[in-house]
Amino acid sequence: ETGVTQTPRHLVMGMTNKKSLKCEQHLGHNAMYWYKQSAKKPLELMFVYSLEERVENNSVPSRFSPECPNSSHLFLHLHTLQPEDSALYLCASSQDIGGSSYEQYFGPGTRLTVT
Amino acid sequence: AQSVAQPEDQVNVAEGNPLTVKCTYSVSGNPYLFWYVQYPNRGLQFLLKYITGDNLVKGSYGFEAEFNKSQTSFHLKKPSALVSDSALYFCAVRDPQAGTALIFGKGTTLSVSS
């Protein structure tokens, strides 16, 4: 295992529901990331946190709301999603972002289906 | 702007044969280059990276990659493929001058037949 866990592994939600994805890293890293992986498309970076501060937000719709209460935990709060939001959501962490040479460690992902 | 291309959606090889998964990149400066592998229902796993130094980089599971600056390529190679190598492979690039984003290719499915 990579040291990054994600829960739940699978989630089915209606368009009016509110749910949250959780990510936890046990590696002592300072940076955490949310990615969206859709079929036949490159990974899309959604959010980057460094030492609990958001440092990057790639034009993600407001129906996705991240939260990073400490350097080990990252949440993605979901509300009023659309069917096209169905995808695999991956969390990752890295030692830091400043050096830019650090590899990222990924969790197993949450498979989200919006009905 | 930085970008990365994996020109092949799928690569098929027989077990025991050498394999190559291609990657080309475009950045304005000197790139940081990475390879990741994704097995079914799993997240991405780091294989290897090139930051500086020797153009031939060795990584996990017997994989290696060669950085070629003139051809702006970073192809992944293995001398002898295993059926268990069958997976989705992603090349990624970061321009250290351009911020934090790691740009991924769309992925190449490697299928190794026995």
Tell me which chain A residue has its CA closest to the CA of residue B34.
A103
pLDDT at B29: 82
Residues 38-97 in A contacting B (C-alpha not used; CB under 8 Å): 40-43, 45, 48, 55-56, 58, 90, 92, 97
Query: Which residues in chain A are closer than 8 Å to B99, comparing Cβ atoms?
Result: 56
CB contact under 8 A, A2 and B32: no
Query: Å from A19 to nearest chain B CA?
Result: 21
Most B CBs within 10 A among A100, A105, A106, hence the mutation to make, goes to A100
pLDDT at B99: 65
A106 within 8 A of A3, measured Cβ to Cβ: no
pLDDT at A52: 82
pLDDT at B95: 80
Give the model's confidence band at A25: pLDDT under 50 very low, under 70 low, under 90 confident, else very high: very high
Sequence-separated (6 or more) residues with CB below 8 Å from residue B18: B77, B78, B79, B80, B81
Of A56, A103, A105, the CB nearest to B100: A56
Query: Which residues in chain B are closer than 8 Å to A45, comparing Cβ atoms?
Result: 101-102
Of A56, A97, A101, the CB nearest to B51: A101
What is the residue type of B94?
R
Most B CBs within 10 A among A24, A37, A41, A43, hence the mutation to make, goes to A43
Q: Which comes out higher in pLDDT, residue B114 or A42?
A: B114
pLDDT at B27: 86
Q: What pLDDT tens digit does each residue of chain B (114 aa) get?
A: 788 999 999 999 999 999 999 999 998 888 899 999 999 888 899 999 999 889 999 999 999 999 999 999 999 999 999 999 999 999 999 887 766 678 899 999 999 999
Encoding tokens for residue B93? Answer: 């690039």
pLDDT tens-digit map of A51-95: 888 887 778 999 999 999 999 999 999 999 999 999 999 999 998
Q: How much is the average pLDDT of A44-54?
A: 88
Q: Does position A99 have pLDDT exceeding 70, yes or no?
A: no
